[in-house]
């Protein structure tokens, strides 16, 4: 069954997920995976749905009818048989906390890119710093580390970056 990756965004309000799920179900689609969140008054996310091959165009057209409620873009997903997962790959979790400043995501993602690591999930946010004032930036990142990667070099680069940015970085 073909898979579609849907990107969705709209003004946050009750009933958005229900409206999207109704359209998917009405076209014999199966909601497989999603990450959805309210951000700055907008509801945004990514949803993976499986849909019978003969109904892809019909579903895509029906998703366009949610305009005004949700803006939805449908992208063809990769065939699961083609998506090869490195059998030797491991997952690494990186947690970061420190004073908020521009460029933190750029710096961390640059280190990960230099080590050819793929980000599987990344959650970031800011919160008030207790008693000190200002904002704290926090990030939780899960990366896929291919077999043969130099984990010690990665840890050293992240520790060096933590010192430069004056943040705490924990790698597990």
Closest CA to 140 of 35, 48, 12: 35
Per-residue pLDDT of the chain (172 residues; tens, 9 = 90+): 999 999 999 999 999 999 999 999 999 999 999 999 999 999 999 999 999 999 999 999 999 999 889 999 999 998 766 555 566 789 999 999 999 999 999 999 999 999 999 999 999 999 999 887 899 999 999 999 998 899 899 999 999 999 999 999 999 9
pLDDT the model gives residue 89: 84
pLDDT the model gives residue 136: 96
pLDDT the model gives residue 47: 98
pLDDT the model gives residue 106: 98
Task: Tell me which long-range contacts 86-91 makes (C-beta under 8 A, separation of at least 24).
Answer: 86/144, 86/146, 86/147, 87/147, 88/146, 88/147, 88/148, 89/144, 89/145, 89/146, 89/147, 90/144, 90/145, 90/147, 91/120, 91/142, 91/143, 91/144, 91/145
């Amino acid at each position: 069954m073909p898979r579609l990756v849907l990107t969705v965004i709209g003004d946050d309000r009750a009933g958005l997920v229900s409206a999207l799920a109704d359209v998917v179900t009405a076209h014999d689609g199966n909601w497989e995976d999603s990450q959805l969140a309210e951000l700055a008054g907008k509801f945004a996310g990514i949803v993976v749905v499986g849909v019978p091959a003969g109904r892809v165009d019909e579903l895509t057209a029906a998703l366009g009818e949610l305009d005004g409620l949700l803006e939805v873009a449908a992208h063809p997903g990769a065939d699961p048989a083609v998506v090869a997962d490195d059998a030797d790959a491991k997952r690494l979790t990186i947690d970061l906390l420190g004073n908020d400043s521009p460029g933190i995501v750029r710096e961390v993602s640059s280190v990960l890119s230099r080590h050819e690591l793929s980000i599987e999930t990344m959650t970031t946010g800011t919160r008030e710093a207790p008693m000190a004032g200002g904002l704290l930036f926090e990030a939780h990142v899960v990366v896929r580390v291919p077999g043969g990667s130099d984990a010690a070099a990665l840890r050293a680069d992240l520790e060096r970056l933590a010192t430069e940015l004056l943040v705490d970085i924990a790698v597990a």
